[in-house]
Structure 1
Amino acid sequence: MAYTPVRSIVGKGLLFCSLLTLAALGGPPPATGIEPPSTPKADQLMSQTKPKIQQELRSKGFALGEPIFVRIFKLPGILELWMDKGRGFELFKSYRVCNYSGFLGPKINEGDWQSPEGFYSVSAEQMNPKSSYHLAFDVGYPNEFDMSKNRTGSLIMVHGDCQSVGCFAMTDGRIEEIYLLAHEALKNGQERFGVHIFPFPLTPLNLKKFAASPWIKFWQALEPGYTAFEQSKQVPEVSVHNGEYVVETPSHKLAMQHTFEQGR
């Protein structure tokens, strides 16, 4: 696949994402199993979106309320929404990201106009039906890894209105669908859904293509999480040990269990 420079995707310019209407977050809050917040406006938007999305879900064998998983690729500027029917995640739909800012690489500092990269998750409290940018959810930056690197910033959203600095902005129609699917999954019992953000698909070919980047070691550290999902279609458990990501694949878990049982 040929990739265009990231600046050509930004296109519509760099504007601030919504900060004033949202409470500051110090990393992703703990999941509590509560129903996501809503407003009359959000309820109306979801009600209007529901018939169309339910028809599309049925045509592909999915159902509203099933667990979801989100992957974002800065290049080629795509948000993937995956759903789990009970046999592993399957791709429901790919949405074009309308606008985001910065270059390839992680977010480092507050105000650097950079979108993050890494492994994040969203619980009910991170859903924001009151966003000044139509509808939004906070991806959970900074996570434990970011904080271990003293990276600063907050309120990094996936939202509507196609305007952003540091956020991932969708058109209003696209965020209405994504928000509805996320809201219903959380309402139906999913405690939190993963949001994995990559610079591009972390294939060996692409990593070789960008080998001269100053961020290549960081991307190589993200690659096990990308590959684990590609191979298993299960969202891997990602933890942080000594300031580095550790990806627990099903085979890794099995090996650890076997070692534990042998030592009993």
Structure 2
Amino acid sequence: MPTRFTLTRFARMGLFVSAVALAGCTDASIGDFTPQHANRQLPPKIQQAMKAKDMKKTSPIVARVFKEEAKLEIWKQKANGRYDIIASYDICKWSGKLGPKFTEGDRQAPEGFYTVRSSQMKPNSQYHLAFNIGFPNAYDRANGRTGSNLMVHGACSSAGCYSMTDAQIEEIYAFGRDAFQGGQTEFQVQAFPFRMTAANMARYRNDPNYEFWKMLKVGYDHFELTKVPPKVDVCERRYVFNQISADGKPFNPVGACPASTQPDSLKMAYSSYQSSYEAAFASALKSSAPAPKPTIAGLKEANIVSEWTRKRARGERVPLEPPTLNADGSITQSERMGRIASAEGRRMAALEAEQAAKKKASAEKEAAIAAAKAAKQAQQVETAAAAKAAEIAAQTPVQALDAQTAQTNMAAEGNGAGAKLKKRLLGMFGG
């Protein structure tokens, strides 16, 4: 490898290293699209802009995504081999927070460097049009990150994807389609949490994802310097950019990085840039800046959200928004509950309604049995009380009559004795 390597020659080499052959890819696989909107041409305004920038309609592209700014950019190759921005779109929706995707179901939109081949273009997508960005890539797999069907698509609805309006995705899709028709076998998608300026890096310097972002920034910087998509490899479970293996050894994502070199011109340009960046970073630390946006707190939060997603997919009632892991380890979740509007959700709703009806019927039956038992016991008490009262009532007149008779007899006896005494006295006194 020559020690001196101009940026222009490196840019041309970039075209070669980014054009990895795709087995089984044919023109028919990207040309025989049924939906009419998959074949729509780019607007005249964009075609005029391409002509003004010396770009061919079918020249290669690269897509760049910035979460915080909610932007998706399309850069296209010019005749000199370098790339220039040709279109910028406001992302309609992206899900999750700033930070990488960790696991299936965490609803995180990926961050990193991804590859799109023609087989990943989805003209018949239920989201109008789409392309799969290629998650997980070698870096993701080496770090045990999982997920599937991560797309850039239309319909403005996202659960881990970058979603555009239908009109936007038609243009973005057309850029990719035309590039494939021009011979590009794959294009790069660079997904970042934010524009990786000194000011933004200073804002997020205390974030748990900062080291990951610093790694991405090297690739970001190389593109900014060369205006050519960087050659991306993975070794020691980390990204490396524009490294040329000295002895031709391949880069093993989980193995040690081989001895490698970089073009001298790139190393000099990067070193010069780093000096100015460090000065800008130091200055940014002293200045006021907008507060950082929410970021994912690593795999632990990803697993919490993933469990929420699984419950939601099963049609269970869950908080309407995904839970959030706080810095102190507590979990915040919405009090509003809901169920996803799906066949499974409707099935679960019907099942829960059936179970609730059975529970209600059982409760009503138990209440009826308890009421009947209580009524029977009350009747028994009432019957016993009535019997006792009748017994008392039957005994009371006899006792009263006996008492009255005794009193009458006593009174009669008293009256007779008095009469005899009176008669005796009268006799004694001549009465």
The two structures have a TM-score, normalised by structure 1, of 0.80
Displaced runs of 4 or more, over 6 A: none
In terms of fraction of residues, the more strand-rich structure is 1
Of 122, 125, 129, 1:128 maps to 122
Query: How high is the sequence identity, in percent, across the aligned residues?
Result: 41
Residue 162 of structure 2 aligns with which residue?
168
Residue 50 of structure 2 aligns with which residue?
57
Residue 111 of structure 2 aligns with which residue?
117
Matched, 1:34 2:32: no
Matched, 1:73 2:54: no
Moved more, 168-177 or 50-59: 50-59
In terms of fraction of residues, the more helix-rich structure is 2
Of 73, 76, 80, 1:83 maps to 76
- In structure 2, the CA distance between the partners of 1:92 and 1:78, relative to structure 1 (3 Å rule), is same
Of 209, 215, 218, 1:215 maps to 209
Matched, 1:45 2:37: yes
Matched, 1:189 2:180: no
- Does structure 2 retain, via aligned residues, the 8 Å contact 1:228–1:249? no
Gaps of 5+ in 1: 1-28, 256-264
Write the distance in 1 (CA, Å) between the matches of 2:47 and 2:139: 37
Of 256, 259, 262, 1:253 maps to 262
Q: CA-to-partner distance for each residue in 1:99-125, whole Å, 9 max, x for gaps?
A: 010000000010111101001010111
Write the distance in 2 (CA, Å) between the matches of 1:190 and 1:30: 9
Residue 40 of structure 1: SS of its match in structure 2?
Answer: coil
Residue 137 of structure 1: SS of its match in structure 2?
Answer: strand
Q: Which amino acid aligns with 1:45?
A: H
- In structure 2, the CA distance between the partners of 1:47 and 1:109, relative to structure 1 (3 Å rule), is closer
Residue 140 of structure 1 aligns with which residue?
134
Residue 200 of structure 1 aligns with which residue?
194
- How far off its partner does 1:246 sit? 0.6
- How far off its partner does 1:30 sit? 7.0
Q: Which has the higher contact order (CA 8 A, sep 6+)?
A: 1
What value does the CA root-mean-square deviation take over the aligned residues? 2.0
- Does structure 2 retain, via aligned residues, the 8 Å contact 1:236–1:249? no
Write the distance in 1 (CA, Å) between the matches of 2:126 and 2:192: 26
Write the distance in 2 (CA, Å) between the matches of 1:83 and 1:91: 6
- How far off its partner does 1:76 sit? 0.4
- Does structure 2 retain, via aligned residues, the 8 Å contact 1:122–1:140? yes
- How far off its partner does 1:54 sit? 2.9
Of 97, 108, 131, 1:103 maps to 97
Matched, 1:156 2:147: no
Residue 73 of structure 2: SS of its match in structure 1?
Answer: strand
Write the distance in 2 (CA, Å) between the matches of 1:253 and 1:229: 14
Residue 57 of structure 1: SS of its match in structure 2?
Answer: helix
Q: Which amino acid aligns with 1:118?
A: G
Q: Which amino acid aligns with 2:22?
A: A
- In structure 2, the CA distance between the partners of 1:194 and 1:48, relative to structure 1 (3 Å rule), is closer
Residue 238 of structure 2 aligns with which residue?
244
Q: How many residues align?
A: 225
- In structure 2, the CA distance between the partners of 1:112 and 1:129, relative to structure 1 (3 Å rule), is same
Q: CA-to-partner distance for each residue in 1:76-110, whole Å, 9 max, x for gaps?
A: 00001000013200010111100010000000010
Write the distance in 1 (CA, Å) between the matches of 2:261 and 2:198: 21
Moved more, 56-65 or 183-192: 56-65
Gaps of 5+ in 2: 1-19, 245-259, 265-431
Q: CA-to-partner distance for each residue in 1:118-172, whole Å, 9 max, x for gaps?
A: 0101011111111000000000000010011111111100000100110000001
- Does structure 2 retain, via aligned residues, the 8 Å contact 1:122–1:139? yes
Residue 201 of structure 1: SS of its match in structure 2?
Answer: coil
- How far off its partner does 1:242 sit? 1.3
Residue 263 of structure 2: SS of its match in structure 1?
Answer: helix
The two structures have a TM-score, normalised by structure 2, of 0.50
- Does structure 1 retain, via aligned residues, the 8 Å contact 2:75–2:87? yes
Residue 72 of structure 1: SS of its match in structure 2?
Answer: strand
